[in-house]
Amino acid sequence: MIQVELHKVLLGPKGQFDLEISTRLQKGSMTVLFGESGAGKTTTLRMIAGLTSPDQGKIYVDDAVWLDTDGKQWLRPQERKVGMVFQDYGLFPNMTIRQHMEYALSESQNEEDIDRILEVMELSGLEDRRPGALSGGQQQRVALARAIVQKPKLLLLDEPFSALDLRIKTKLIDHLLRVHDEFELTTLLVTHDYRDLVGLADQILELNEGRVEKHLDYTASELSTTVTISAIKREGDQIVVYYENEFHSGRLTHFSHEKHDFRIGDRLKIGILPITDA
C-alpha cells in the first residue's frame, strides 16, 4: 500500500492555487490520474519520484517512509525504486537499447532479466539500435522497458500516449497491461485523455482545482461514483433527475408528492455495478 499526501502551491493557467493530493494506491493496482493541463499532474508524479519538493507532505510505501516533511525525512530519488516514463521518454541518445537495459540493471540482477523484458515488450530484434533509429512507439516501449528493469515499487507514467496515434496507443496499452500483470507492478498513470483506460484501471482519479476526486474505485468493496445533476424534469406525477459524469449518465425518478431538494449542478454519490457486455 502506498499512501500519498502532498501539498504544494503551484502557478496554473488561472493563477496561483493549492495542490492538495491525498490518495492511496493499492499494491498491484493501476491508477489513472487525469485532469486538464496545468492541473498539477506532472508535478504530482515528480513529487512522488522525489524530483520536485512539496511544500508539505508524507509518502509511505509499505513500511518505508519516502517523505515526511514533519519528521524531516526525505529519501533520495536514487533510493526510492521508482520507475518513470517521461513525457519526452528521456532516452539516452548515446546508448543502444541493450545498453539502456544494462545501464538500468542493478548489481544484484543478471542479464536474463533484460532478455525477458525485451521479449515481452517486443523489442528483441532492435537491441543494437539507438533511440534516433526508432519510431515514436518503439521509443515509448524502450522507455517503459528501461523503467521496469529494476522491478520498481511504483511505476509512474507521464502522459504516455500524448504523441502516439490510435493504433500504436492501443498497442502500448496492451503492452502496459501485460507488464503490469506479469511484473506485479503498482502503476500510476497521468493523462489528460482517460477514455482509453476506463475499464482497464483499478482506480480513476481526477485532479480538479488542485484536489483529487475519486471517480471509480474497483478496489473498494463499495462501488460508487460521484455524478452531477444535469437536468430536472417533471414527467407526469414524477420528478426525473438526470445525472452524468465522464463515465456514467442516467436518471432517477422521484415522486412529486415527496419534497425534494435537488438542484441542477448538485453532486450526488451513487452506487454502481460493473456490467460486462453480454
Q: Are 158 and 126 in contact (CB under 8 A)?
A: no
Please identify, using beta-carbon distances, which residue of 140 and 203 lies nearer to another protein: 140
- Site residues for another protein per CB under 8 A: 49, 51, 77-84, 86-94, 103-104, 106, 132, 146-147, 149-150
Please identify, using beta-carbon distances, which residue of 143 and 239 lies nearer to another protein: 143
Please identify, using beta-carbon distances, which residue of 46 and 58 lies nearer to another protein: 46
CB 101 → another protein: shortest distance, Å? 11
CB 77 → another protein: shortest distance, Å? 5
Task: Using CB atoms within 10 Å of the CB of residue 183, give its burial: 0 to 12 exposed, 13 to 18 middle, 19+ buried.
Answer: middle
CB 264 → another protein: shortest distance, Å? 44
Task: Using CB atoms within 10 Å of the CB of residue 153, give its burial: 0 to 12 exposed, 13 to 18 middle, 19+ buried.
Answer: middle
Question: Which grid cell is 68?
Answer: 515526511
Helices (H) and strands (E) in the chain, counts: 5, 15
Please identify, using beta-carbon distances, which residue of 121 and 239 lies nearer to another protein: 121
Question: Which grid cell is 252?
Answer: 432517477
CB 42 → another protein: shortest distance, Å? 11
The residue count of the chain comes to 278
CB 102 → another protein: shortest distance, Å? 11
Please identify, using beta-carbon distances, which residue of 123 and 216 lies nearer to another protein: 123
Q: Which residues contact 203 (CB under 8 A, 6 or more apart)?
A: 25, 26, 29, 30, 31, 32, 214, 216, 217, 218, 219
